[in-house]
Amino acid sequence: MRPSRSFLVVLFLMVMLLVYLGMRLLPDLALGMVGNLIAGLLLCLLGILVPVGLMSASMRRRRWSDAVAWVGLLSMGLFSSLLVATVLRDLVLLVLMVIGAVTAPVLYISALAVPLVALAVTLIGYANARRVARIVKVDVPIRDLPEALHGYTIAQISDVHVGPTIKRAYLNAIVDKVNALEADAIAVTGDLVDGSVQRLAPHTEPLGRLRAGDGVYFVTGNHEYYSGALEWIVEVRRLGLNVLMNQHVIVHKGDARLMIAGVADYHAHHFHPEHKSDPQRAAAGAPAGIGARVLLAHQPRSATAAAAAGFDLQLSGHTHGGQFFPWNLFVPLQQPFVAGLNRVREMWVYTSRGTGYWGPPKRFGAPSEITLVRLVAA
């Protein structure tokens, strides 16, 4: 079987980046022939392991597959930081060269600092990613909110990414922390998994323990569609969650009513045309006199259509808050918001930084979160 063109492109880019790292660091480290050989071999090993990390979610199950996935994904994180640190070093050296301040000690110390900084960021990022997500409390002011809905709480988790390195124990800890909040409702806003139902069902089982008086609700994210969305929708329903596919439910609190609606992922129609994300359809048929309208939508970019459909609040995820520098700088190229509470016309949008992580077990500058959203009168 001939390799695909995309694979060859990735392979070419990987080789070029490894050559760049080697040429920019090894001469200034002055390691000698043996040292350069060892360093070169380590770079080549890193170059081999990064694609392994990229393919980890689709690897066949073997006794060693989890260990290989861990090594590959940690290598991805280290390679990313190594590359970024090298680029930043070159920019600093360019400035120093302009002012005539580049010396042999500067070259040596800065070259030595690059792998040390990359390793430190990777270790700190690992610790941040693997700890249980912190609780973030957010008050959302809703105009004309009925008194009976003042203080209504929704616990949101998003982007858990159960898969190669996130397993049952990790999700169990999240579920315990969410249940302890005793929220009125719970929202799971997509990208729950990275892998098939057959592989991951034992690890998503803790979701069945989520408890909230007004129900637990789920909407699909893009990674559900990479992982077999139809099968996952069936499995999530089996666990007792309410899957909202361009639908809504009405929650009664005293004499007030709250709409909780959900749409499929923004790109769902590319996989299943009948899943096309449609906030108008999600709100259709709602009775008059709704006190507040909340939409669950995986991607923040659904906000324009949601605002046009008359929602008061959209809860989203997808961005991971960038997860680690510098990828947070690229999120705005695809999404209107990176994280936090923002406004689109008359509607609020809250974008979670995510409760787990994707790919490398690494978070740096974008802490994971379990969000407790509270509706308050404006």
pLDDT in tens, the chain (378 residues): 455 676 677 778 888 999 999 999 999 998 889 998 999 999 888 888 887 766 665 666 666 777 888 888 999 899 999 999 999 999 999 999 999 999 999 999 999 999 999 999 999 999 999 999 999 999 999 999 999 999 999 999 999 999 999 999 999 999 999 999 999 999 999 999 999 999 999 999 999 999 999 999 999 999 999 999 999 999 999 999 999 999 999 999 999 999 999 999 999 999 999 999 999 999 999 998 999 999 999 999 999 999 999 999 999 999 999 998 887 888 988 899 999 999 999 999 999 999 999 989 999 999 999 999 999 998
Q: Give the pLDDT of residue 1.
A: 44
> Where does 30-134 have alpha helices with state H?
32-54, 65-98, 104-130
Q: What are phi and psi of 144, to 5 degrees?
A: 60, 30
Using CB atoms within 10 A of its CB, is residue 117 exposed (0-12), middle (13-18) or buried (19+)? Answer: middle
- Among residues 127, 119, 236, 140, which one has the least CA distance to residue 188? 236
* CATH number of this structure's domain 134-377: 3.60.21.10
Q: Give the pLDDT of residue 58.
A: 61
Half-sphere exposure of 23 (CA within 13 A, CB side): 8
As beta bridge partners, residue 343 has 348
State the span(s) of the chain assigned CATH 3.60.21.10.
Answer: 134-377
Using CB atoms within 10 A of its CB, is residue 67 exposed (0-12), middle (13-18) or buried (19+)? Answer: exposed
Calpha distance 186→102 (Å, rounded): 56
**Residues listed for the chain:** 378
Q: Judge contact between 346 and 113, C-beta under 8 A.
A: no
Calpha distance 316→352 (Å, rounded): 6
Structural tokens at position 228: 């077999």
Calpha distance 16→67 (Å, rounded): 28
Distance of CA 50 to the CA centre of its chain: 19
